[in-house]
Structure 1
Amino acid sequence: MAPRTTPTARQQRLGAELRKLRERAGMTAREAGALLGGNQARISNIETGRVPVSADRVRTLASNYGCADEPLVDALAAMTGGRARHWWEEYRGVLPAGMLDLAELEHHAVGIRTAQTSTMPGLLQTVDHARAVFGQACPPLPPHETEHRVSHRIKRQAVLYRDEPPDYTAVLHEAALRMRFGGPDIARAQLAHLLEAGERENVTVLVIPFSAGAFPGSGQTFMYARGPVPQLDTVHLDQPHGAAFLDAEPERVQYAALWDRLASLALTPAASRDFVRAIAREL
Structure 2
Amino acid sequence: MAGTPTYARRRLGSELRRLRLAVELSGEDAADKCGWDKSKISRVENARVSLSRHDLHVLCRLYDIDASAVGRLEAWLTDTRGPRWWAGYTDVISSAYEELIELEGQASDIKSANANLVPGLLQCQSYATAVFGNGPMIPDPDRADALVEVRMKRQRILTREEPVSLTAVIAESVLHCEIGGRQALADQLRHLLDVGQRQNVSIRVLPSSSTASAFIGGITLFEFPEIDDLGALFIEYHGGMLVKDDDRDIRRSRRHLDYLFANALSEESTRQHIAARLKDL
Structure 2 length as normaliser, TM-score? 0.89
Between 1:77-86 and 1:260-269, the stretch displaced more is: 77-86
Distance 2:25 2:271 in 1: 54
RMSD over equivalenced CA pairs, Å = 2.4
Instruction: Report the CA distance shift for 1:75/1:274 in structure 2 as closer, same or farther (over 3 A).
Output: farther
After superposition, the C-alpha distances for 1:24-68 in whole angstroms (9 at most, x for unaligned) are 432122222234332323323322323222456445524533456
2:39 & 2:241 partners in 1: Cα distance?
A: 29
Deviation larger for 34-43 or 94-103: 34-43
Which residue does the alignment assign to 2:242? 244
Partner Cα separation in structure 2 for residue 132 and residue 203 of structure 1: 24
Match of 1:160 among 158, 161, 164: 158
What letter corresponds to residue 199 of structure 1 in structure 2?
A: Q
Tell me which residue corresponds to 1:123.
Answer: 121
Partner of residue 195, structure 1: 193
Ranges in structure 1 where 5+ consecutive residues have no aligned partner: none
C-alpha distance 264-19 of structure 1, shift in aligned 2 (>3 A): same
| Counterpart position of 1:179 | 177
Could you say which residue in structure 2 is the equivalent of 1:220? 217
Number of equivalenced pairs? 278
C-alpha displacement of 1:81: 3.1
The range that moved more, 50-59 or 241-250, is 50-59
Contact conserved, 1:126 with 1:190, CA < 8 A, in 2?
Answer: yes
State how far apart, in whole Å, the 1-side matches of 2:39 and 2:164 are. Answer: 38
Quick one: which amino acid aligns to residue 79 of structure 1? W
Question: Contact between 1:116 and 1:222, CA under 8 Å: does it hold in 2?
Answer: yes
Contact (CA 8 Å) 1:33, 1:42: kept in 2 or not?
yes
Structure 2, unmatched stretches of 5+, are: none
TM-score by length of 1: 0.89
After superposing on structure 2, the runs of 4+ consecutive aligned residues of structure 1 that deviate more than 6 Å are none
SS at match of 1:224: strand
Is the deviation greater in 50-59 or in 24-33?
50-59
In 2, Cα distance between the equivalents of 1:137 and 1:62? 51
Q: What does the per-residue CA deviation read over 1:190-216, in whole Å, with 9 as the maximum and x for residues that have no partner? A: 0110111111110011111223x2117
Aligned equivalents of 2:44 and 2:145: distance in 1?
36
Say if 1:183 and 1:267 are closer, same or farther in 2 by CA, change over 3 A.
same
| SS of residue matched to 1:215 | helix
Residue matched to 1:205: 203
Change beyond 3 A, Cα 1:5–1:117: closer
